[in-house]
Amino acid sequence: MKSKIAVYPGTFDPLTNGHIDIVKRSLALFDNVIIAVAVNSKKQSLFSVEERIALIERVLKDEKKLIVTQLEGLTADFCKEKGAVAIIRGLRAVADFDYEYAISILNKKLASEVDTVFFMASGENSFISSSMVKEVARYGKNVNDYVPEEVNIALIEKYKQLQSNKEK
């Protein structure tokens, strides 16, 4: 029997507890989940793709059905290449739906054999975004309630490094 593979694409800059919740819930439905770490040309990333992949692998090291890799190109093409049957997307609020719905329609036209599966964020994660986490961490505040400890430490170190480089 062919395994059911899902792709969870995103920038994950950084990985949040909301992302982890969606990963774990999707692992319960699919045989394998590929976290596809993307470069978003519209965003200035804090962490490199390699750093993001390493952090995700460290945080989710016990998830045996999970693969973490870089996404280059279109998600629909990536899904076809990997034999995926679904694209995983998280929705925090109604405002996310319009954007995600439009993308799902486009992906369906590009890869008709791949469906988009939406997961509603759990209540405690419905307001968490990577952007918000970075903004709070940039000012030296603890973000342990929103990200795993490994990510909190990486954020602290990254902002110290950036501050040190700025002072030079």
What would the mean pLDDT of 117-143 be, rounded to a whole number? 90
pLDDT score at 166: 75
Residue in 24, 43, 61, 141 annotated catalytic: 43
| Catalytic residue from among 92, 108, 138, 158 | 92
26, 45, 104, 130: which is the annotated catalytic residue?
A: 130
**Domains of the chain by residue range:** 5-167
Query: Is 58 a residue of the active site?
Result: no
109 is catalytic: no
Percent residues over pLDDT 90 in the chain = 77
CATH number of this structure's domain 5-167, picked from the four choices 3.40.50.620, 3.30.720.110, 3.40.190.10, 3.90.550.10: 3.40.50.620
In this prediction, residue 105 has a pLDDT band, given cuts at 50, 70 and 90, of very high
Omega within 30 of 0 (cis) for the link into 148: no
Which stretches of the chain are assigned E, i.e. beta strand?
5-10, 32-38, 66-71, 86-91, 115-120
Active-site residue, 19 included: yes
Q: How much is the pLDDT for 122?
A: 86
Higher per-residue pLDDT: 159 or 1? 159
* Residue 149 vs residue 167, higher pLDDT: 149
Is residue 26 annotated as a catalytic residue, yes or no? Answer: no
